[in-house]
């Protein structure tokens, strides 16, 4: 059973100052997890984790990871700007984007970030808009379906990302002609995997490709980025990844493929978001309504604005009714928000303890792609974000939005009268 990292007593104190709903993050868990990842890949001298900023774009969270030695993976102008403001420069930034606007390539070059090209045509586009750097990375898409021993993992052939192998070969040759001296290789073939096979299998594919690219193009490949895809068990009975076993699996492929090819100095990068943060965030809400019609409903003061994964994907997020952890789960509920959309549900037909108005509800595993995917439909406002510090104090790391924030983009006009004052 999943256990919250905050107690009911802590939440009662927190809500005296910060009303629900809010996202809260566990600093201790974040730091311990980052250190465990680093330990799992300590066999590789150049290893670096580039945290996927899109997962949790909060400067306080990113600073924690920076202190633990992580870089950042950015995919937009604002993510580059956020990273720059936090002191990231040069090869501490990986810029991985697609259908990239020209100004974003310009900004990435200004920061001397490692640019991860998504498409063969972007070579000429980058040269025209910002110039070609001496170090560059390219993203590989093998097409077809991606399989491990456990079966089909995903379908890269339907994904919009990456070069084909033939395009990579020609692309590396072209980039060399344009002055590139060192290369990286990147691929993302499956999302939220909960098998220890994913990274080692992907690593084997990329390691063999790196040898082939070296042999066919003469490229000096300095790093291989395994990207993200290592997931978390959202359901309490789902298997969890063993990052130490994953690291050993990648090491085995490294020693079998790259070392004999004379490429044993290649650095391994990861680009994790969900694995780094998801389990260390909760969305905390209050039960404010109950409805008895054809089904039993509990209405929260949170909605899909605060966590859209269940509405968007039908994704499962575990729910704890605080103070009733040991009570029998003998009531079947749909747990809903207040949006004018019938898919605004955090759970459907979920067996839970009896929920009373005023009960505090913890929705688990919202530390990545939780707050970040929020929006303002129905004029709903985004919640605050809090940090549970290692000393058990609580820090506000993003205030809740106000109506003034919502209307701020009309500040060029007086059409709304005093509402912006």
Asked if 268 and 310 sit in the same domain, the reply is no
Q: What is the pLDDT of residue 171?
A: 98
Cβ atoms of 279 and 17 within 8 Å: the answer is no
Q: Is the dihedral of CA 317, 323, 325, 327 positive or negative?
A: negative
The residues, any chain, with a CB within 8 Å of residue 231's CB and separated by 6 or more, are 191, 192, 193, 194, 241, 274, 275
**Residue in 70, 137, 138, 340 annotated catalytic:** 340
Q: What is the pLDDT of residue 152?
A: 45
Asked if 268 and 285 sit in the same domain, the reply is no
Other CB atoms within 10 Å distance of the CB of residue 173: 15
Does residue 293 sit in helix, strand or coil? coil
Please state the φ and ψ torsions of residue 269, each to the nearest 5 degrees.
-115, 150
* Dihedral angle of Cα 250, 173, 214, 116, to the nearest 10 degrees: -20
The residues, any chain, with a CB within 8 Å of residue 390's CB and separated by 6 or more, are 27, 28, 31
Is 137 known to be catalytic?
Answer: no
Domain with residue 145: its CATH number is 3.20.20.10
Q: Which of 278, 310, 330 is the last residue of a domain?
A: 278
Number of domains in the chain: 2
Helix (H) or strand (E) holding 51: strand 48-52
Q: What is the pLDDT of residue 154?
A: 58
pLDDT per residue as tens, the chain (421 positions): 899 999 999 999 999 999 999 999 999 999 999 999 999 999 999 999 999 999 999 999 999 999 999 999 999 999 999 999 999 999 999 999 999 999 999 999 999 999 999 999 999 999 999 999 999 999 999 986 766 655 545 567 677 889 999 999 999 999 999 999 999 999 998 889 989 999 999 999 999 999 999 999 999 999 999 999 999 999 999 999 999 999 999 999 999 999 999 999 999 999 999 999 999 999 999 999 999 999 999 999 999 999 999 999 999 999 999 999 999 999 999 999 999 999 999 999 999 999 999 999 999 999 999 999 999 999 999 999 999 999 999 999 999 999 999 999 999 999 998 888 7
Asked if 63 and 182 sit in the same domain, the reply is yes
Domain residues for 249?
27-278
Asked if 174 and 298 sit in the same domain, the reply is no
Q: What is the pLDDT of residue 77?
A: 98
Task: Provide the terminal-to-terminal Cα distance of the chain, rounded to the nearest Å.
Answer: 48
**CA–CA dist 231, 245 (Å, integer):** 14
What's the pTM?
0.95
Asked if 292 and 272 sit in the same domain, the reply is no
Is 95 a domain residue?
A: yes
Domain with residue 316: its CATH number is 2.40.37.10
**CA–CA dist 2, 108 (Å, integer):** 40
Asked if 298 and 252 sit in the same domain, the reply is no
**CA–CA dist 51, 31 (Å, integer):** 13
Asked if 271 and 286 sit in the same domain, the reply is no
Q: Please confirm whether the linkage preceding 284 is cis (ω < 30° from 0).
A: no
């Amino acid at each position: 059973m999943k256990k919250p990292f905050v107690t009911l007593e802590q939440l009662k104190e927190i809500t005296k100052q910060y009303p629900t709903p809010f996202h809260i993050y566990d600093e201790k868990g974040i730091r311990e997890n980052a250190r465990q990842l680093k330990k799992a890949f300590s066999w590789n001298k150049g290893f670096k984790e580039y945290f996927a900023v899109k997962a949790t774009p909060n400067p306080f969270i990113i600073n924690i990871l920076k202190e633990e030695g992580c870089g950042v993976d950015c995919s937009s102008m604002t993510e580059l700007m956020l990273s720059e403001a936090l002191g990231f420069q040069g090869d501490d930034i990986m810029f991985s984007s697609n259908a990239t606007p020209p100004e974003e390539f310009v900004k990435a070059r200004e920061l001397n970030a490692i640019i991860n090209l998504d498409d063969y045509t972007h070579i000429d586009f980058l040269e025209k808009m910002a110039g070609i750097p001496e170090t560059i990375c390219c993203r590989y898409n093998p097409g077809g379906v991606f399989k491990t021993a456990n079966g089909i993992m995903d379908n890269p052939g339907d994904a919009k990302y990456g070069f084909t192998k033939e395009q990579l070969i020609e692309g590396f040759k072209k980039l060399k002609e344009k002055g590139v001296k060192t290369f990286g290789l990147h691929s993302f073939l499956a999302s939220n995997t909960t098998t220890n096979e994913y990274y080692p299998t992907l690593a084997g594919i990329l390691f063999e490709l790196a040898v082939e690219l070296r042999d066919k193009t003469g490229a000096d490949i300095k790093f291989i980025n395994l990207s993200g895809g290592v997931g978390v068990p959202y359901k309490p009975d789902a298997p969890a990844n063993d990052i130490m076993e994953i690291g050993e699996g990648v090491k085995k492929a490294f020693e079998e493929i790259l070392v004999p090819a004379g490429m044993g100095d290649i650095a391994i990068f990861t680009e994790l978001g969900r694995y780094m943060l998801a389990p260390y965030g909760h969305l905390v809400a209050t039960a404010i309504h109950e409805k008895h019609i054809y089904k039993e409903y509990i209405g929260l003061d949170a909605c899909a604005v605060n966590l859209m994964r269940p509405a968007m994907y039908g994704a499962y997020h575990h729910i704890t009714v605080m103070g009733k952890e040991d009570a029998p789960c003998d009531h079947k509920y749909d747990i809903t928000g207040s949006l004018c959309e019938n898919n605004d549900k955090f759970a459907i037909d979920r067996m839970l303890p009896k929920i009373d108005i005023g009960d505090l509800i913890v929705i688990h595993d919202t530390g990545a792609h939780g707050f970040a995917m929020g929006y303002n439909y129905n004029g709903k406002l985004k919640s605050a974000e809090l940090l549970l510090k290692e000393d058990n104090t609580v820090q506000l790391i993003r205030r809740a939005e106000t109506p003034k924030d919502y209307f701020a983009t009309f500040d060029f006009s007086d059409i709304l009268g005093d509402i912006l004052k």
